[in-house]
Structure 1
Amino acid sequence: MLREQEAQRLHELGDFLRTRRARLAPEDVGLPRGGRRRAPGLRRAEVAQLAGVSVDWYTWLEQGRSITVSTQVLESLVQALRLTASEREHLFFLAHQQPPPEKDMELETVSPTLQRFLDNQGLSPAFVTGRRWDVVAWNEAARVVLGDYGQMSTLERNSIWRFFTFPEHRHVLVDWEGHARQLLAQFRATCGRYPGDPYLTELIQDLMLRSPEFRAWWPDHEVLGAREVHKEYNHPQAGSLVFEYLSFQVLDAPDLRVNVYTPLDEVDTPAKIARLIAEGSSVSR
């Protein structure tokens, strides 16, 4: 059974490489077209040339033979075949059965389309977090309910840092401990996707020093995916606010996560948020 699964994995890897090769023309990668081609796309020899490997070795890889593939060679194939971030991850899963090592972390931004999505949520506070849990975009409802992210430092915009080191959270969020344990388990799952990331490593070390709860719970190794939950806040201006919370990944940018707080009719939450927005109120916490 295991041998069959391995053969299937290698077959999928070969098919994936063939289809990526077939969609590229020589001029797409800076090569001359040359003579007439029997099949569309790049030739195996051209991919091998671009990736810096032998034609025989690349041919064996496409044929699904069980050969050793280094991370460096896979990265060369990523460049040669002009793979997207999602395709790069897929290639590494097929070849190494694990995600690729993270590249240098460039500044994370959201597309204009995603920002419009946030803005169009109206009375629902909505924001986007990156791979390190930094808030990188938000709407007006999030600003007046959760805090003015535009006035915060990068560290203050980190969701896990604010949650565990800002005392105000314990007063405004009902059942802080329950939500904190769940958030920590989700953060642990994220860290498992990016082992060795220096920013996350430093963040964990700082949290171990600053937060007794983080220090006590982190060794438990609890892991949890995103969940739909209710959250209740005691907002200093608006009073009690009740939400349904939903979090989901962005398909085109899987390192980004959209977080939406849908206000419930309980305790007139929508009307209270509307007043906060109208008054231009902001709470920095």
Structure 2
Amino acid sequence: MSLLSSVPVTTDKDERRRALSAFLRSRRERIQPDEVGFAPGGRRRTPGLRREEVAQLAGVGVTWYTWLEQGRDINVSAQVLEAISRTLRLDRLERNHLYTLAGIALGPAKTDCSALPQSVQKMLDQLSPYPAQVLNARYDVLAFNDAYRKVLIDMAAIPLEERNLLWLTFASDEWQCAFADGDSIKQHMVAGYRAALADHLGESSWQDLTERLLASSPLFAELWERYDVAAPSARIKILDNERVGILQMEAVNLWVSQQGQMRMTTYTPVDEDSEAKLHQLVNS
């Protein structure tokens, strides 16, 4: 047997099973026994519910659930996943994430695309003085307008291969956009990336970005281990600009691809003071 033939090959299915195992364990460990009617007494080796308790509440076999959480190659039905979702108190996004990792489709397959028609850039330019950008699900910055360069970060000065918001936020000194609520934003970004990754397990570009972030940023690694998932949403962000001070901006998303893989994010002021400061920055 050659050395090459003895090296195990990691497949997309292997990645999904490992991710499913870790996700189920993290959701199980966050539920306290007394929250679901079990006595809290007795020494527990790990926090949260035991596997047998999850199996009992979900109405499935203990061995079967143990195999599922261990990432074994077993068949699973939507009915059983629904019971586990209810038992683990998963919200809508977490439930969808569980189905995706288990290989059960909830909708049409998604495709990833980085090509944008010129009309999208024209739209971005017309939004000035409001900063706007287009992102794909991996947080790659595909396009931006001049207001985005002046108010948030001069993305044009950053090499194409580094124009990724996760990389700029967690691992690069180039990220000069100081959000006063940066901790919350970072948590939401990592959770959004984990949710999107479920549709791209085994893809080299996603795997490479994840590994680089884990190796470069202890904070990203810490947030990654929480196994939280989130969806893009309209959020008020507090920008602390060194020239004009605090701006309160609402980040609103508009999806520009049929399958929701690319979105345009526009930042609009939420008060008159922020509006005036924004015009000052863009027009200077």
Amino acid across the alignment from 1:278: N
User: How far is the alpha carbon of 1:175 from its aligned partner?
Assistant: 2.0
| Cα distance between partner residues in 2 of 1:251 and 1:134 | 15
Query: Which of 161, 164, 168 matches 2:167?
Result: 161
Query: Which of 125, 138, 153 matches 1:119?
Result: 125
Are 1:136 and 2:142 matched, yes or no? yes
> For this pair of structures, how many residues does the alignment match?
180
| Cα distance between partner residues in 2 of 1:244 and 1:232 | 9
Amino acid across the alignment from 2:191: A
Q: Do 1:101 and 1:194's aligned partners in 2 also have CA atoms closer than 8 Å?
A: no
Query: 1:132-191, CA deviations, whole angstroms, 9 ceiling, x for partnerless residues?
Result: 211111111111011111111134310111111246769811121111111111111111
TM-score, scaled relative to structure 1: 0.57
Query: 1:232-282, CA deviations, whole angstroms, 9 ceiling, x for partnerless residues?
Result: 11112222111011123214473211111111225x222222222222xxx
Query: Which of 268, 274, 284 matches 2:279?
Result: 274
Query: Which of 173, 178, 181 matches 1:175?
Result: 181
Match of 2:215 in 1: 209
Q: Spell out the pairing of 1:1-285 with structure 2 (5 A cutoff).
A: 97=105, 100=109, 108-166=114-172, 172-252=178-258, 254-266=260-272, 268-279=273-284
**Residue 233 and residue 122 in structure 1: after superposition, are their counterparts in 2 closer, same or farther (change >3 A)?**
same
| Cα distance between partner residues in 2 of 1:203 and 1:184 | 12
User: How far is the alpha carbon of 1:127 from its aligned partner?
Assistant: 0.3
Match of 1:6 in 2: none
Q: Do 2:238 and 2:248's aligned partners in 1 also have CA atoms closer than 8 Å?
A: yes
Amino acid across the alignment from 2:223: W
| Cα distance between partner residues in 1 of 2:174 and 2:158 | 15
| Cα distance between partner residues in 1 of 2:274 and 2:158 | 26
Q: Do 2:153 and 2:177's aligned partners in 1 also have CA atoms closer than 8 Å?
A: no
| Cα distance between partner residues in 2 of 1:250 and 1:149 | 20
Which consecutive residues of structure 2, in runs of 5 or more, have no partner in the other structure?
1-103
| Cα distance between partner residues in 2 of 1:218 and 1:225 | 15
| Cα distance between partner residues in 1 of 2:110 and 2:258 | 19
**Residue 112 and residue 170 in structure 1: after superposition, are their counterparts in 2 closer, same or farther (change >3 A)?**
closer
Match of 2:66 in 1: none
| Cα distance between partner residues in 1 of 2:269 and 2:110 | 39
Query: 1:89-142, CA deviations, whole angstroms, 9 ceiling, x for partnerless residues?
Result: xxxxxxx8476586xx77x23222222221121221110012421111111111
Q: Do 1:123 and 1:263's aligned partners in 2 also have CA atoms closer than 8 Å?
A: no
TM-score, scaled relative to structure 2: 0.57
| Cα distance between partner residues in 2 of 1:220 and 1:97 | 24
Percentage of matched positions with identical amino acids = 28
Partner secondary structure for residue 172 of structure 1? coil
| Cα distance between partner residues in 2 of 1:255 and 1:171 | 24
What value does the CA root-mean-square deviation take over the aligned residues? 2.4
Query: 1:63-86, CA deviations, whole angstroms, 9 ceiling, x for partnerless residues?
Result: xxxxxxxxxxxxxxxxxxxxxxxx
- Larger C-alpha radius of gyration, 1 or 2? 1
Partner secondary structure for residue 163 of structure 2? coil
**Residue 174 and residue 193 in structure 1: after superposition, are their counterparts in 2 closer, same or farther (change >3 A)?**
same
- Worse-matched range after superposition: 236-245 or 252-261: 252-261
